[in-house]
Structure 1
Amino acid sequence: MEKSKIFELKCITYLKKDISFEDTFDVISKYINFSICKKDEYLEKHNKNIFNNFCFGGFMPLEKDKIYKKGNNYSFTFRTIDEEFAKNVYSLFRANIDNQYLQIVDIKQKEIKNYFISELYSATPVVMSIKKKDLQDRQLFWTLEKSGDIIELQNQLQDNLLKKYEEFFGEKLIPTQNFIQLLEIKNHKPQYIFFKTTKNEIQKKVALIGNKFRIVPNEDEVSQKLAFLSLGVGLGEKISYGAGFLIVKSI
């Protein structure tokens, strides 16, 4: 199984409605999941709620007024570490699946081979839950204010990637140190990803709380494998909602 490639689809979309920045991740996420679930094996996997070996970013270019306009073209980027999955997703996206918000009009395919990564930046908020819960027994997400423990965060981010690596490739990596040499928080206040959910015919908007990071990975082999993996599957949790999508600076 290929361990040194990421398969990227840059999807050019035509918008059928205005979409606010706040709603973009929900719109893209639902389009991706609906499209993927047209294939029975991916529907079965989706229903089991197991690791998704893909990630995606938001619409580009960014709009200053945070409204993506009806009738305009915008792109979003989809990445995966699974070559066969990438081919199937390409076909599913090209099938012009009916959607009230968007239509994909072109897809540019790209293979990214493994290379040395000097810096990673989170294009979308990185979300990581913490073990504590609030008085209403709701899950809390890591923030500097609620936790402040950077080492705990780094360990959780690494453990998450190690589990994803083992599940997909069927082998364990044995790190000698955390793959993160330096983690810099770039936001002054928590960042949010919103999605809509329906229960008992009542729709509500849910907020995932995350942070924007600059990360300098360590240079050893395992650290670089994890850094590269994070580009293909996202960093942290709630990736299927648009969290943890990274861009890279390399030498």
Structure 2
Amino acid sequence: MKYIEAKISVELKKPVHFQYAPELISNYIKEAVSDSENYDYVFSNLGKANSEGMFEYDGVIALRSFSQEFIDKAVKNLLDFENEHFKTKNIYTFTSSFQPINTLYTLNPAFVLIDENIFWTFKSSGDFELLEKLILDDLVEKYERNFGEKLEDVKSFIKIMNIKNEKPFSYMYDDKKYFGYKVLINPKEDEISQKLAFTAVGCGLGHKNKEVGGGFTKILN
């Protein structure tokens, strides 16, 4: 198992708030890769916003996928690319191979859908078992889709999960609010759990990975 990451340095044409930046990044990627819907991927926000939550001048987008083909397309088409919001400055790529994971932390909130229009929050649900099941089911689907290996009867991959904020973060996409939480997860040590944890790093934890970079995750070991 390995994922490929492209670090994309961009110049901002105008300041943007951190809640709106992910949609602009998503559109920037989709403009460059016309068949992006065929791949699993996730991306970071632009970096650290200022005290008012704004990105003003420059940013760095980390784009991850298990698909070398997708990253190659993105790099080729984003070089020297610009739109009304971003101008690409430079790109470099590297590969990260599977490693044991003690702790995952979501740098972007994880957005988890209960149904088509309702996100898991303490207000809409508060059911932790449901949250874990939705996260697990999504990761199993991603793993099977990316690696062609069927996983049978996986009950759980999480040993401990801590939700780091009481009120959900909200990101905007297509004039709708997405509600999510930053989470800290200690996965179980067995092989399948570790593979699912690494899947979360390579293409995102939870839903809305392509739309707003939901669940862009860092390994804390």
2:82/2:88 contact within 8 Å kept: no
* Partner in structure 1 of residue 140 of structure 2: 162
Q: Distance in 1 between matches of 2:141 and 2:191?
A: 17
User: Is the Cα contact below 8 Å between 1:128 and 1:157 reproduced in 2?
Assistant: yes
Any conservation in 2 of the 1:174–1:222 contact (CA below 8 Å)?
no
TM-score when scaled to structure 1?
Answer: 0.83
> Which protein is richer in strand relative to its size?
1
Unmatched tracts of structure 2, length 5 or more:
none
Deviations 1:153-173 (A, max 9, x none): 111111111111112222212
Letter of the structure 2 residue corresponding to residue 80 of structure 1: S
Residue 30 (str. 1) matches residue 17 (str. 2): no
Q: CA RMSD in A?
A: 1.5
**Which of 13, 38, 54 is matched with 1:67 structurally?**
54
1:127–1:211 Cα contact (<8 Å) kept: yes
Query: Aligned residue for 2:62?
Result: 77
Name 1:123's counterpart in structure 2.
Answer: 107
Q: What secondary structure sits across from 1:141 in the alignment?
A: coil
Q: Give me the TM-score of the superposition, normalised by structure 2.
A: 0.94
Asked if structure 2 preserves the Cα contact closer than 8 Å seen for 1:20 and 1:66, the reply is: yes
Q: Which moved more, 1:220-229 or 1:20-29?
A: 20-29
Aligned residue pair count:
220
Aligned positions of 1:83-102 closer than 5 A: 83-94=68-79, 96-102=80-86
Q: Following the alignment from structure 1 to structure 2, what is the Cα–Cα distance between the partners of residues 174 and 221?
A: 13
Who is 1:9 aligned against? 6
> Could you say which structure has the larger radius of gyration?
1
Residues 160 and 236 in structure 1, CA contact (< 8 A), matched pair in contact too: yes
CA contact (8 A) 1:175 1:223 kept: no
Which stretches of structure 1, 4 residues or longer, exceed 2 Å deviation after superposition? 174-177
Report how far residue 62 of structure 1 moved. 2.6
Give the AA of the match of 1:56: F
8 A contact 1:158–1:179 mirrored in 2:
yes
Give CA deviations for 1:208-251 in whole Å, capped at 9, x if unaligned.
1111101000000000000001111101111112211111112x
Q: Report the identity percentage.
A: 30
